[in-house]
Amino acid sequence: MKQIILATGNKHKVIEIKDILKDLPVEIKPMTDFEKYPEVLEDGQTLQDNAIKKATEVAKYFNLWAIADDTGLEVNYLKGAPGVYSSRYAGINCSYNDNNNKLLKALEGIQMENRQAQFRCVIALSDNCGNIKILAEGKIKGYIATDLCGITGFGYDPLFYVPKYEKTFAQLGEEIKNKISHRAIALQNFKEKFLELNNNL
Protein backbone atom coordinates (compact mmCIF):
# COMPACT_ATOMS: atom_id res chain seq x y z
CA MET A 1 0.00 0.00 0.00
CA LYS A 2 1.34 3.42 -0.95
CA GLN A 3 -1.42 5.64 0.34
CA ILE A 4 -3.76 5.62 3.34
CA ILE A 5 -6.81 7.87 3.59
CA LEU A 6 -7.18 9.69 6.89
CA ALA A 7 -10.88 9.55 7.77
CA THR A 8 -11.37 12.89 9.47
CA GLY A 9 -12.40 16.41 8.55
CA ASN A 10 -10.87 17.86 11.73
CA LYS A 11 -7.88 19.93 10.58
CA HIS A 12 -6.30 19.83 14.04
CA LYS A 13 -6.39 16.02 14.08
CA VAL A 14 -4.97 15.93 10.54
CA ILE A 15 -1.94 17.98 11.58
CA GLU A 16 -1.38 15.95 14.75
CA ILE A 17 -1.79 12.51 13.16
CA LYS A 18 0.29 13.29 10.07
CA ASP A 19 3.08 14.63 12.27
CA ILE A 20 3.19 11.54 14.49
CA LEU A 21 2.99 9.11 11.53
CA LYS A 22 5.37 11.04 9.26
CA ASP A 23 8.07 8.34 9.35
CA LEU A 24 5.79 5.53 8.10
CA PRO A 25 6.55 4.26 4.56
CA VAL A 26 3.19 5.46 3.18
CA GLU A 27 1.48 8.73 2.26
CA ILE A 28 -1.23 9.76 4.73
CA LYS A 29 -3.82 11.67 2.70
CA PRO A 30 -6.76 13.38 4.46
CA MET A 31 -10.14 12.61 2.90
CA THR A 32 -10.82 16.35 2.77
CA ASP A 33 -8.12 16.63 0.09
CA PHE A 34 -10.66 15.05 -2.26
CA GLU A 35 -13.53 16.92 -3.87
CA LYS A 36 -16.05 14.41 -2.50
CA TYR A 37 -15.90 12.25 0.61
CA PRO A 38 -18.46 10.48 2.81
CA GLU A 39 -20.06 12.06 5.87
CA VAL A 40 -19.96 9.26 8.44
CA LEU A 41 -22.54 9.34 11.23
CA GLU A 42 -20.76 8.62 14.52
CA ASP A 43 -23.55 6.72 16.23
CA GLY A 44 -21.53 3.96 17.90
CA GLN A 45 -21.87 3.12 21.59
CA THR A 46 -18.09 3.09 22.10
CA LEU A 47 -15.00 4.87 20.78
CA GLN A 48 -13.99 1.62 19.08
CA ASP A 49 -17.37 1.37 17.32
CA ASN A 50 -16.94 4.87 15.86
CA ALA A 51 -13.30 4.41 14.84
CA ILE A 52 -14.16 1.16 13.05
CA LYS A 53 -17.20 2.66 11.33
CA LYS A 54 -15.28 5.69 10.05
CA ALA A 55 -12.33 3.63 8.83
CA THR A 56 -14.42 1.01 7.01
CA GLU A 57 -16.88 3.41 5.37
CA VAL A 58 -14.16 5.74 4.12
CA ALA A 59 -12.03 2.81 2.92
CA LYS A 60 -14.89 1.33 0.90
CA TYR A 61 -15.88 4.73 -0.50
CA PHE A 62 -12.41 5.40 -1.92
CA ASN A 63 -11.46 1.73 -2.44
CA LEU A 64 -8.26 2.49 -0.52
CA TRP A 65 -6.95 1.66 2.93
CA ALA A 66 -8.15 4.11 5.59
CA ILE A 67 -7.24 5.07 9.13
CA ALA A 68 -9.63 6.65 11.64
CA ASP A 69 -9.62 7.56 15.29
CA ASP A 70 -12.20 8.33 17.89
CA THR A 71 -11.30 10.11 21.07
CA GLY A 72 -13.14 10.69 24.31
CA LEU A 73 -12.65 12.55 27.56
CA GLU A 74 -13.89 10.47 30.48
CA VAL A 75 -14.46 12.29 33.77
CA ASN A 76 -14.74 10.10 36.88
CA TYR A 77 -17.13 12.41 38.76
CA LEU A 78 -19.45 12.40 35.72
CA LYS A 79 -19.36 8.58 35.52
CA GLY A 80 -17.30 8.58 32.33
CA ALA A 81 -19.07 11.44 30.55
CA PRO A 82 -18.75 13.03 28.08
CA GLY A 83 -16.99 9.91 26.72
CA VAL A 84 -18.14 8.89 23.26
CA TYR A 85 -20.12 12.15 23.04
CA SER A 86 -17.08 14.35 23.74
CA SER A 87 -17.09 16.19 20.42
CA ARG A 88 -20.80 17.00 20.69
CA TYR A 89 -21.15 17.24 24.48
CA ALA A 90 -22.90 20.62 24.25
CA GLY A 91 -25.00 19.61 21.23
CA ILE A 92 -24.72 19.04 17.48
CA ASN A 93 -22.42 21.56 15.73
CA CYS A 94 -21.26 22.96 19.07
CA SER A 95 -17.89 24.71 19.39
CA TYR A 96 -14.90 23.70 21.51
CA ASN A 97 -15.80 26.61 23.77
CA ASP A 98 -19.37 25.34 24.17
CA ASN A 99 -18.10 21.92 25.26
CA ASN A 100 -15.54 23.36 27.67
CA ASN A 101 -18.07 25.69 29.26
CA LYS A 102 -20.58 22.88 29.73
CA LEU A 103 -17.91 20.73 31.38
CA LEU A 104 -16.87 23.55 33.71
CA LYS A 105 -20.52 24.06 34.65
CA ALA A 106 -20.98 20.33 35.34
CA LEU A 107 -17.99 20.37 37.70
CA GLU A 108 -18.73 23.73 39.33
CA GLY A 109 -17.78 23.65 43.01
CA ILE A 110 -16.04 20.26 42.77
CA GLN A 111 -12.61 20.18 44.42
CA MET A 112 -9.52 19.34 42.34
CA GLU A 113 -8.99 15.94 43.97
CA ASN A 114 -12.42 14.88 42.68
CA ARG A 115 -11.86 16.11 39.12
CA GLN A 116 -9.93 13.06 37.88
CA ALA A 117 -10.28 12.27 34.18
CA GLN A 118 -8.66 10.40 31.36
CA PHE A 119 -8.34 11.02 27.65
CA ARG A 120 -8.72 7.85 25.59
CA CYS A 121 -8.13 7.31 21.86
CA VAL A 122 -8.84 4.33 19.61
CA ILE A 123 -7.24 4.01 16.16
CA ALA A 124 -8.59 1.68 13.46
CA LEU A 125 -7.07 0.72 10.10
CA SER A 126 -9.27 -0.77 7.39
CA ASP A 127 -8.24 -2.32 4.10
CA ASN A 128 -10.01 -1.20 0.92
CA CYS A 129 -12.70 -3.87 1.37
CA GLY A 130 -13.68 -2.74 4.85
CA ASN A 131 -11.77 -5.36 6.84
CA ILE A 132 -10.21 -4.05 10.05
CA LYS A 133 -6.49 -4.86 10.11
CA ILE A 134 -5.34 -2.90 13.16
CA LEU A 135 -6.90 -1.60 16.37
CA ALA A 136 -4.75 0.41 18.77
CA GLU A 137 -5.55 2.33 21.93
CA GLY A 138 -3.91 4.97 24.09
CA LYS A 139 -4.89 6.81 27.24
CA ILE A 140 -3.52 9.39 29.67
CA LYS A 141 -4.80 10.26 33.13
CA GLY A 142 -5.11 13.78 34.50
CA TYR A 143 -7.54 16.26 36.04
CA ILE A 144 -10.04 18.82 34.78
CA ALA A 145 -8.78 22.31 35.59
CA THR A 146 -11.10 24.87 37.17
CA ASP A 147 -10.39 27.42 34.42
CA LEU A 148 -9.34 27.43 30.78
CA CYS A 149 -5.52 27.61 30.63
CA GLY A 150 -3.26 27.80 27.56
CA ILE A 151 -3.61 28.72 23.91
CA THR A 152 -2.31 25.74 21.91
CA GLY A 153 -4.06 22.50 20.98
CA PHE A 154 -7.81 22.11 20.55
CA GLY A 155 -10.91 20.61 22.08
CA TYR A 156 -10.61 20.05 25.82
CA ASP A 157 -6.86 20.77 25.85
CA PRO A 158 -7.20 24.02 27.89
CA LEU A 159 -8.95 22.03 30.66
CA PHE A 160 -6.98 18.77 30.74
CA TYR A 161 -4.33 19.18 33.44
CA VAL A 162 -1.32 16.83 33.53
CA PRO A 163 0.12 16.63 37.08
CA LYS A 164 3.60 15.52 35.96
CA TYR A 165 4.06 18.77 34.02
CA GLU A 166 1.78 20.94 36.19
CA LYS A 167 0.23 22.25 32.98
CA THR A 168 -2.78 21.68 30.76
CA PHE A 169 -2.38 20.18 27.30
CA ALA A 170 -2.93 23.68 25.90
CA GLN A 171 0.01 25.00 27.94
CA LEU A 172 2.41 22.18 27.05
CA GLY A 173 2.82 23.02 23.36
CA GLU A 174 2.52 20.64 20.41
CA GLU A 175 6.01 19.12 20.70
CA ILE A 176 5.51 17.76 24.22
CA LYS A 177 1.82 16.99 23.78
CA ASN A 178 2.54 14.92 20.65
CA LYS A 179 4.83 12.71 22.72
CA ILE A 180 2.65 12.08 25.77
CA SER A 181 -0.99 12.44 24.69
CA HIS A 182 -3.59 9.69 24.42
CA ARG A 183 -3.49 10.05 20.63
CA ALA A 184 0.31 9.94 20.59
CA ILE A 185 0.30 6.73 22.66
CA ALA A 186 -2.38 5.16 20.44
CA LEU A 187 -0.49 6.13 17.30
CA GLN A 188 2.80 4.77 18.65
CA ASN A 189 1.02 1.46 19.33
CA PHE A 190 -0.49 1.70 15.86
CA LYS A 191 2.92 2.29 14.24
CA GLU A 192 4.39 -0.87 15.76
CA LYS A 193 1.46 -2.95 14.52
CA PHE A 194 1.50 -1.25 11.12
CA LEU A 195 5.18 -1.94 10.46
CA GLU A 196 4.65 -5.61 11.34
CA LEU A 197 1.57 -5.79 9.09
CA ASN A 198 3.33 -3.99 6.23
CA ASN A 199 6.24 -6.43 6.35
CA ASN A 200 3.82 -9.33 5.94
CA LEU A 201 1.80 -7.93 3.01
Secondary structure in 3-state letters for the chain: CCEEEECCCCHHHHHHHHHHCCCCCCEEEEHHHCCCCCCCCCCCCCHHHHHHHHHHHHHHHHCCCEEEEEEEEEEHHHCCCEECCHHHCCCCCCCHHHHHHHHHHHCCCCCHHHCEEEEEEEEEEECCCCCEEEEEEEEEEEEECCCCCCCCCCCCCCCEEECCCCEEHHHHCHHHHHHHCHHHHHHHHHHHHHHHHHHHC
48 φ, ψ to 5°?
-65, -40
Query: Is 177 in contact with 184 (CB distance < 8 Å)?
Result: yes
Query: What is the total residue count of the chain?
Result: 201
Task: Name the residues annotated as catalytic.
Answer: 70
